[in-house]
Structure 1
Amino acid sequence: MKRHASFLGLCCLLIVAALLGGCASLPAPRPVPPTYAIQDVASTRLARIAKQNALPGAAELSGFRLLPEAPFSFNARIALASRAEKSIDAQYYELRNDGVGRQLLRELRDASLRGVRVRLLVDDLYMSDADELFSSLAAYPNVEVRLFNPLPARSGSLLSRIVFSIHEFGRINHRMHNKLFIVDNSFSVSGGRNIADEYFMQDGQANFIDMDVLASGPVVREQSAAFDIYWNSEQVRPIGQVASFDLSPEQAQRRFDQWVGGAGHGLPENERDALGRTSVAHQLDDGKLDQFHAKAQVLVDDPAKIMRGRMEERFQGSVSQRTLAVLETARSHLFITSPYYVPGQVGLAQIQRQLQGGVKIIVVTNSLAATDEPLVYAGYARYRKEILKLGVVIYELSPMLSQRSGRLGEFGKTTGRLHGKTAVIDDKRVFVGSMNLDGRSASLNTEIGLVIDSPEIAADINRIISIDRYTSAYLVRIGATGGVEWVEQDSSGTTTAVHEDEPETSWFIKSKNWLLSPFVAEELL
């Protein structure tokens, strides 16, 4: 996620920034009329397909399909966008100006030209030098682009934008981490993936292993209501209020066409995904969806969460707090994947209660070699030994082993990194969403997720992750001498090698973490 590449070390820049002049400021906000999800969608083809595939006499149930493979997940968004007739509502923490990002933006443009209303809400943190691209998209009819919690500095690198916005650090340190894509108020794709090359196996250096879910039915209307809360919140500004270019609408549109003209058309995918299912596009064309039907609940943070002063107030009622409550309902098994896992004292106490109650807990997270946030790993490492002694089973993803197994994606020579945020409770309930089990998700970012009461979806997540944890991750344990060990295993769980120090990691990274981690507050991790 490259979460805040930076935010974690950026507090050091406060002194530098104080010596610099020219700190930027935002213009005063101007009121904008609220808009809401379009409800009159029954005549659209997507709404008809969703209705045809619903279970008769079970109007309270929604349909779900996991999207564990990156190409299938991205192409699902393209398939939905290309079939949109009334509306597209898209909300992302990160939407990059790269090959994947431009493909999706072009689909939004094409939909708008068909008369589809497009609302695009993007967190502003990663908008470095992207104002012109998004402003040009907003020049098309039927398109509106809004930014969440914009930074005053509008140009330059992420680092320079933060430096010249540092006088508002208390505000800009809070970000919208939500990921949501809704078409015709009938289908949605949500989960952990942002829109950028590295989330869809298209980056040349490192790619993320992630999990999304396709949904239809009443849960989509709940997600639309959640989107509306953000879209109309005081934390959001139309892009035209914070960035302006001296271009006519026609000139801006031509400029946008130049930006996206070379983008590809979807990503290459296999005939079937890892769960044996054909593409979403193929199933939409057939009008028959491979879905499981279940009750579900949308967990979403109030965007005003970021305005609350004390950490405890931001945690109260948050997605993090509510998800922990769901996890605590486990009576036999709890299987968690989280790329950034810093349980804190609240999580540690909950773990102890559950283990004493006979619950088996398995956690899959990133190794130091795999993580894109070494300082967050250091925060997790503070708790690791204690958690292991309590009886939690921990696996840490290995870049080398994930490349070798090939089960979690086509990495080639790139680094594999875990980014999926899921939990399986007693093999019958699941969480899939944007929330990490760390302090930043709990009190600094906003999040969204789904809790789905479905043994079938639980079984699918177990199929994807359970076997692969043996061949793609290290089993972490306490060794005979009391130190932490990293164990390589084959597909049967047999030990093939044991490491007594963080494997695949340079001494420089280890030394830097050792030096810096004591100075980073756990809330920032």
Structure 2
Amino acid sequence: MRDCDPAALSRSAASSSRPRPHRWLAVALALVCSGCAGLPKEVERPVSVALDVARGPTDLSALVERQRRAVGARGVSSGFMLLSGPQEAYGSRLALVEAAQKTLDLQYYAIHADASSARLLRGVVDAARRGVRVRILLDDFHSTGRNALVMRLAFEPHIEMRMFNPVAGPRDSMLGRLWGSLTDFSRVQQRMHNKLFIADNAMGVTGGRNLGDAYFGQGAGENFVDLDVLAAGPVVAELSRSFDQYWNNPRAYPVQSLVTRKELEQLQAQIQEAEGGAAAGDAPALPPPAQDPEQQRRALQAWNEEPLDLANARLVWAPAAVLVDQPTKIALEGEPGPAGGEPAGPDATAALQGGADAEDTVVDGLLQLMARTRRELLIISPYFVPGEDMKRAFAEARRRGVRVRILTNSLASNDAPIAHVGYARHREELLDLGVELYELRSEQAGLRTAFGSSGTPSGPQRSGSNPGNDGASGGATGASRSMLHSKVLVVDRQLLVVGSMNLDLRSQLQNTEVALLIRSKLLSEQAARQIEAAMLRGSWHVQRSEDGALLWRAPEGSGLDDMKHDPDSSLGLRLLLRLLGPLAPDHLL
């Protein structure tokens, strides 16, 4: 998962809202670190499970059933709506919070303490106060500095919050937190990258987005291009089942076992003092605003969004399955290394056309889908570092005559440039196999923007050996920089896959992931058109020139010249990455 990393710690608890992962540093530290950091023992974890809709129907579950009947949906078909725009993505979550009557389950790699999360979490607190049971499961890697204040939600009535695979060390000290990562480097590298937002076990959202401004188009300097899916009906129960597996796992620690309310209040006071006494906001569980007054005013205007109208959402009904890694992929002390995943749900085997074995990971399951592709494979993977089995899958597909097109980040749009090294070293081999490569066009990237030193604290970040890889780099100066973050596959324009996984060794071997597989020609075609438009008009097409060298063809209608090196990147950055490349093994990128 490319969202977290022992090096992805905040510059200081008082001055940065996001960690700044540097993969190259983590790669170097991996060579010298060993040992084990302590975590709380004999922790109480009361078991709880998702709402049984059959026994406790809600307005939301009744709405879903009415929509199913209205369109004559058959069998186990579920309803889906692609959420490709930030307004729909945010509005859908806001609508689920407001519609929930019994339960809200949130599972995320990162929740950033900024304006978009503040409004959304304020709604979650309001839901809890009206009696909704709220469970929040958050990967622990980024919960330091300002972002640690999100943990105050655990002290609200009706809200339980657990941290997955905690990192030892104080949350107000960069050095202390760094040491907690280094002394248990192998375990800390394995992160929970899953992303779920579920209301009443009836409707939910999954996909690539974390919660934060940059994931909803409101980042001050950088924003992620992402894709989510709103799901309704039977498949939501399978998403909930996967949530329960993680929630009730020994790797999930209640917040109260890791930090006290008093410690969080002291951290908040420390941050407020550093920021000139910023107000804490009107909801006690929320972090103080991260912007100056003018930025906060603009942010509040931007987030004056209306919830998505769920009653009139245009759902497409189709068979679907959930493929999810097992929590045991992240090993406990004394356990063997990463284990695999399993297809979730009664129709998983059918959706997978034979399916994945219980020992396979999510990425392994996708490789099996590639093996069954007959005509066309469209892929979006922001962090694309193919292992040998993945390259074999592409080679075999090409031998069968399958057209394979892949859209990934360019060096300029990649918020973790060291991860780009892992992709770049395979680029020529992939082209020789007949794979078509496209790289998202973005603004100029140099050493400052690429390594997160622009000084904009609210920009996104990604892990540079960042165990999560979900984006978290400092904002760029000037106009907003677009960074690809969607994780999508379209198989033969019949099967659509949207999830949290990247096609890289980190997602395959270390991070846990979740993917939603939808057998729908309509949705597959819709997604394919969006991908093709992004490839043709918003991306550089990487090809071979007549002399065999790499050539970047400019996007259609851009008026730009073709390039003979990574576009929109400085010479200094390219030279630095060429030097660091041999030190960065693929499995740590």
Normalised to the residue count of structure 1, the TM-score between the two structures is: 0.88
2:566 paired residue number = 502
1:165 to 173, 181, 184: 181
CA distance in 2, matches of 1:159, 1:66: 42
> Gaps spanning 5+ residues in structure 2: where?
6-20, 269-279, 291-295, 342-357, 445-476
1:357-368 matches, cutoff 5 A:
357-368=400-411
Q: In 1, are the aligned partners of 2:4 and 2:141 still within 8 Å (CA)? A: no
1:444 paired residue number = 510
Instruction: Note the C-alpha offset of 1:141.
Output: 1.3
Q: Is it true that 1:26 corresponds to 2:62 in the alignment?
A: no
Question: Percent identity among equivalent residues?
Answer: 35
Secondary structure of residue in 1 paired with 2:501 = coil
Worse overlay, 374-383 or 23-32: 23-32
Q: In 2, are the aligned partners of 1:103 and 1:265 still within 8 Å (CA)? A: no
2:462 paired residue number = none
Q: In 1, are the aligned partners of 2:385 and 2:422 still within 8 Å (CA)? A: yes
CA distance in 2, matches of 1:6, 1:160: 17
Q: In 2, are the aligned partners of 1:77 and 1:181 still within 8 Å (CA)? A: yes
Secondary structure of residue in 1 paired with 2:439 = strand
- Using CA pairs under 8 Å that are at least 6 residues apart, name the structure with larger relative contact order, 1 or 2: 2
1:58-457 matches, cutoff 5 A:
58-130=74-146, 133-156=149-172, 161-246=177-262, 255-256=284-285, 259=288, 264=300, 267=303, 281-282=308-309, 284=310, 287-307=311-331, 309-310=336-337, 316-400=359-443, 413-457=479-523
Letter in 2 for 1:26: L
1:471 to 537, 562, 570: 537
Question: Kindly tell me: are residues 317 and 338 of structure 1, through their superposed partners in 2, closer, same or farther at Cα, counting changes over 3 Å?
Answer: same
Q: In 2, are the aligned partners of 1:320 and 1:435 still within 8 Å (CA)? A: yes
Q: In 2, are the aligned partners of 1:151 and 1:162 still within 8 Å (CA)? A: no
Secondary structure of residue in 1 paired with 2:186 = helix
Instruction: Note the C-alpha offset of 1:130.
Output: 4.8
CA distance in 1, matches of 2:440, 2:147: 36
Instruction: Note the C-alpha offset of 1:255.
Output: 3.7
Instruction: Note the C-alpha offset of 1:179.
Output: 0.5
CA distance in 1, matches of 2:339, 2:99: 44
Question: Kindly tell me: are residues 81 and 212 of structure 1, through their superposed partners in 2, closer, same or farther at Cα, counting changes over 3 Å?
Answer: same
Secondary structure of residue in 1 paired with 2:312 = coil
Q: Is it true that 1:39 corresponds to 2:52 in the alignment?
A: yes
CA distance in 1, matches of 2:230, 2:98: 16
Letter in 2 for 1:519: L
Letter in 1 for 2:303: L
Q: Deviations over 1:286-344 (max 9, x none)?
A: x3330111111100000101216456879941101011111222100000000011111
Secondary structure of residue in 1 paired with 2:506 = helix
Secondary structure of residue in 2 paired with 1:353 = helix
Q: In 2, are the aligned partners of 1:176 and 1:447 still within 8 Å (CA)? A: yes
Secondary structure of residue in 2 paired with 1:51 = helix
Q: What RMSD in Å do the two structures reach over aligned CA positions?
A: 2.9
Q: In 2, are the aligned partners of 1:80 and 1:183 still within 8 Å (CA)? A: yes
- Count of paired positions: 498
Secondary structure of residue in 1 paired with 2:569 = coil
Normalised to the residue count of structure 2, the TM-score between the two structures is: 0.79
Q: Deviations over 1:433-477 (max 9, x none)?
A: 000000100011000011110011111112222122212100100
CA distance in 1, matches of 2:566, 2:263: 53
2:72 paired residue number = 56
CA distance in 2, matches of 1:159, 1:518: 27
Worse overlay, 89-98 or 132-141: 132-141
CA distance in 2, matches of 1:94, 1:10: 19
1:276 paired residue number = none
Secondary structure of residue in 1 paired with 2:554 = strand
Secondary structure of residue in 2 paired with 1:225 = helix
Question: Kindly tell me: are residues 132 and 192 of structure 1, through their superposed partners in 2, closer, same or farther at Cα, counting changes over 3 Å?
Answer: closer
Letter in 1 for 2:317: H
Question: Kindly tell me: are residues 289 and 94 of structure 1, through their superposed partners in 2, closer, same or farther at Cα, counting changes over 3 Å?
Answer: same
Q: Is it true that 1:519 corresponds to 2:583 in the alignment?
A: yes
Q: Deviations over 1:110-136 (max 9, x none)?
A: 100010000000000010125762342
Letter in 2 for 1:201: G
CA distance in 2, matches of 1:469, 1:32: 47
Worse overlay, 473-482 or 6-15: 6-15
Q: Deviations over 1:67-112 (max 9, x none)?
A: 0001210111001101110000000001011112212211110100
